[in-house]
Chain A
Amino acid sequence: MIYQGKQKIWADYQKEIPDNHWFYVRSCIRQNFFPGAEKMFLEICRGLLKKDIFETEHHTTCGGIAYHCDTIPQETVMTIVARQFALMTEAGYENYVASCITSFGNYIEILETWKEFPELETRIREMLWKACKREFNKPKYVAHASDLIYKYRNEIAARAKFRLVNRFTGEPLKVVEHIGCHYAKMFPARGVGGAEYPYVLCGMIESWGGNVIDYPERRHCCGYGFRQYHVKANRGYSLSNTYKKFESMEPYHPDFILTNCPGCPYFMDRWQYVIAETEGKTYGENGYGIPVLTYEELASLVLGYNPWDIGLQLHQVAVEPLLDKIGIEYDPKEKYKGLNEKDLMRPELPGVLRCC
């Protein structure tokens, strides 16, 4: 691996990301499975870095998953998106930041399609007016939430309480990064670092002290495949793709996986559980799995937040071995507690995958 070669490519794909004043839209999947990640995005951007991030309760799904499951026409998804843009316009914002990669890809694709076929944009404007009596300006800038954390990575590093260093060996942690397919595969120039060697997560890992691992199946899809997961009969597709990635990264012994897509951390986390229970195979040390984190979860950890306040208890793969390596203290008894120490019992332990 020639690191300078990657740096050269990264330099070609830097995008100018506005610093402040964002209209924020949430992710369906992340609100369900990684609610803590979205909470921490706002906590870090608003609370810590004092950025203006606006959210309205009136925004909805962008329809991206339904669209990619082929259940709604292109005009429908475009008009839902147009309505989101109208909410942004009405709130007086021009910069649009999406928590979801499917959404981000959806927004970029729609804007590019309108550019190529202006008559379609006109039709969608008419449809939105007919359906909702709303009008919109197109965003000046569309970012993914990971672009913002990337932009603020050095500010976060400056405030960090922990570095991505193994405190037992003093070595940087070995990190696999996984980028959602719809981040840059359709429009490489729209992603930090491009499609082949995206830098958006590498930049965070480097800034916070870790080492990035490049393994053969790095660019391969996590296996979501929309209908290939949502329909029970098809899930072998999803599982086999994740399996392929884990087999490929196994020899590098990664300490954890960092992702920027809503679905990927869910699949890479849960399919490890399924592989353990069905095949008896685990990929971490001592029967554990390899922890899979979102970028906000990782940022929160290095900033010193309590792991159970940021939602790491909702992962099936135990994060404790990673916390131990970094030197983050945690109270095991607190892990599954509700507010005010409320006892919520705890999940059953899997048969094979070691959990805490």
Chain B
Amino acid sequence: MKENIVIIGGGIAGLEAACQLLDLGYKPIIIEKSDHLGGHVADWNCLFPDMTPAGDIVSALISKAADANIFLNTEISFVNKLQDSYNIMLSNGISIITRIMLVTTGFSVFDASKKEEYGYGVYDQVITNKDLEHWFNTGDDRRVNDSAMNAIGFVHCVGSRDEKARNSQCSKVCCITAVKQAIEMKQKFPEAMVYCFYMDLRMFGKKYEDFYISAQRDYGIRFIRGRVSEVSENIDGRVIVKAEDTLSGKPVKVTLDLLVLMAGMVCSQDSTKVANMIKLPLDSDGFLKSADNVADIIDSPKEGIFYAGACTGPKTVPETLAEARAAALKIHLYIMKK
């Protein structure tokens, strides 16, 4: 079929939608800014709740999507609105005329250094969830390798549910990611004390609660209900965390060899850039605004423009894949109706 379908973003949402559209007989175009496909998931090691290797998911999607027109290292320079279509000029000089765009620009990881009191980028032994996945994948991080790992802490809600950080939304996946990473660290360092500092544990997904039970029962991970207020560094370079154990109503101070900040999801700059070019509205949470947040999450308010994945708000991997499939079907029906 000749209809041009432009997918903006080659993460798992874009790839999954492309796979479905290929199956339906279309030849979608994927525009990806970076030099590889798979987005954030490609940087991850294992996925909850069954510890599925993230690389397997990504490589399966990439091989299934191989017949799409894929432009790597490519950005959108500008978009012109024509009568009933758009002219998209790419940074590689190619221009595409299309009626249909699928926005799969995803999210950005919250810049943890903005929570100054946590000392990311200031104190050596403070890392993020993303840094830890990188270490799981490559084994390369002197902060983990060069220090004894006797005590490890995880801070939930870093840049999430935080009006001061200008992100009041819950990033949804950090709670379960912290539990997952805590278990993985305990597996690697069985002698270490592992702490999770949380405000609420949002174990909403399939088998998440089982994961949590296992973390407590099988791994002896300590869950302290209190938001971390301050991190400092002592003379040995270890980090000291201050929180309140709100269940006992007492301030607690814990000295750790490694502190992992669960940086949340924020709307990516690429999403806002695309939104500006096509004049898509942003929702009050800073993410792209859907036609309706209950019934039409994958519809933008503009004809022919659709969303899938975390560009409209924090999503899990299965949610993102489901939206991508739904978006592919929606696009197919849109073309059929013509």
Interface of A toward B, CB cutoff 8 Å: 1-2, 5-6, 8-9, 194-197, 214-219, 251-252
Contact = CB atoms under 8 A, between A and B. Distances in A.
Given A8-B113, A196-B116, A219 B230 contact: yes
Interface stretch (B54-62, B76-84, B119-127): B119-127
A99 B116 CA distance: 28
B124 A196 contact: no
A197 B117 CA distance: 9
Contacts, number: 41
B240 interface: yes
A196 B113 CA distance: 12
Residue from A1, A216, A219 with most neighbouring chain B CB atoms (10 Å): A216
Residue from A196, A214, A218, A251 with most neighbouring chain B CB atoms (10 Å): A196
Main secondary structure of the interface of B (DSSP, over half): mixed
A218 B113 contact: no
Given A5-B120, A6-B122, 10 more contacts: A1-B237, A5-B119, A9-B116, A194-B116, A196-B117, A214-B233, A215-B232, A216-B240, A219-B230, A251-B235
B234 interface: yes
Contacts of B120: 5
B234 A216 contact: yes
Contacts of A195: 116
B301 to A, nearest CB: 34
Contact of B122 (A2, A215, A216, A219): A2
Interface residues of B, number: 16
Contacts of A216: 232-234, 240
Contacts of B123: 1-2
Nearest to A188: B116
Interface of B: 113, 116-117, 119-124, 230, 232-235, 237, 240
Contacts of A214: 232-233
Contacts of B113: 5, 8-9
Main secondary structure of the interface of A (DSSP, over half): loop
14 contacts: A1-B124, A2-B122, A2-B124, A5-B121, A6-B122, A9-B113, A9-B122, A194-B116, A196-B116, A197-B116, A215-B232, A218-B232, A219-B230, A219-B232
A215 B232 CA distance: 7
Nearest to A13: B116
Contact of A252 (B230, B235, B237): B235
Nearest to A9: B116
B121 A2 contact: yes
B235 A197 contact: no
A217 B230 CA distance: 10
A333 B117 CA distance: 47
A126 B97 CA distance: 66
A251 B237 CA distance: 13
A149 B117 CA distance: 26
A5 B120 CA distance: 8
A221 to B, nearest CB: 12
